[in-house]
Copies of this chain bind each other. A is one copy, B any other.
Amino acid sequence: MVRIVRIGELAQQAGTTTRALRYYEQLGLLPARRAGNGYRAYGEEDLRLLRQIRTLQDFGFGLEETRPFVECLQAGHPEGDSCPASLEVYRRKLAELDECIGRLQEVRTRVAEQYARAERAREDLAAEAADRAPQCELAIEWEER
C-alpha cells in the first residue's frame, strides 16, 4: 500500500518547494507519474530520492552530481552511494574540496598580508601626524601669548 501524494505535500515533507520539484523533473532527475487529472503523483520512494538530492545539495553538490546517487536508489540499491558511480562522485568532490580549501587558504594568507601592510602604513602616517601634533600645540600656545 503506497501512499500517493501530490507535489505540494511532497515538497513540504522534504522541506523544499513545488518549483524545485518541477525543476528536478525537468532535468529528468525526479520523474513523476501522473494522476488521471494530470496532477503529479509521488510515492514514498520518491521521498527517499528527494531526500538524497537535498542532503547532497546541502553538501554543495550540484544537481547533476546527485544524479548517480538518485539512479542508484532508483535501481533498487539500499543506499544512494551503494554504486561505484556515486563513490566516484564522492572522490571527485573530495578532490575539489581540497583544491578549493587550499586556494582559499592561500588567498586568505595573501589578503592578510596586504591588510597587515596597509595597516602598518596607516600607523606610520598616524605616527607622523603625532610627531607634528606637538608642534601644532606649541604653535597654538605661541599664538595665544
Residues of A within 8 A of B (CB): 59-60, 79, 81-82, 86-87, 90-91, 93-94, 97-98, 100-101, 104-105, 107-108, 110-112, 114-115, 117-119, 121-122
Specify which of B86, B91, B112, B122 is in contact with A82 (CB 8 Å cutoff): B122
Partner of A94, one of B93, B94, B112: B112
Number of copies: 2
Judging by beta carbons under 8 Å apart, are B115 and A91 in contact?
yes
- The binding surface of chain A is classed by DSSP as helix
B60 touches A114 (CB 8 A): no
Contacts A81-B118, A82-B118, A121-B79 given; indicate if A101 touches B108 (C-beta within 8 A). yes
Q: Which residues of B contact A121 (CB under 8 A)?
A: 79, 81-82
A97 and B101 contact, Cβ closer than 8 Å, known pairs A87-B118, A118-B86: no
Chain B hits for A82, CB < 8 A:
118, 121-122
Q: What are some 30 contacts across the A-B interface (CB < 8 A)? A: A59-B107, A59-B111, A60-B104, A60-B107, A79-B118, A81-B114, A81-B115, A81-B117, A81-B118, A81-B121, A82-B118, A82-B121, A82-B122, A86-B118, A87-B115, A87-B118, A87-B122, A90-B111, A90-B115, A90-B118, A93-B111, A94-B112, A94-B115, A97-B107, A97-B108, A101-B101, A101-B104, A101-B105, A101-B108, A104-B104
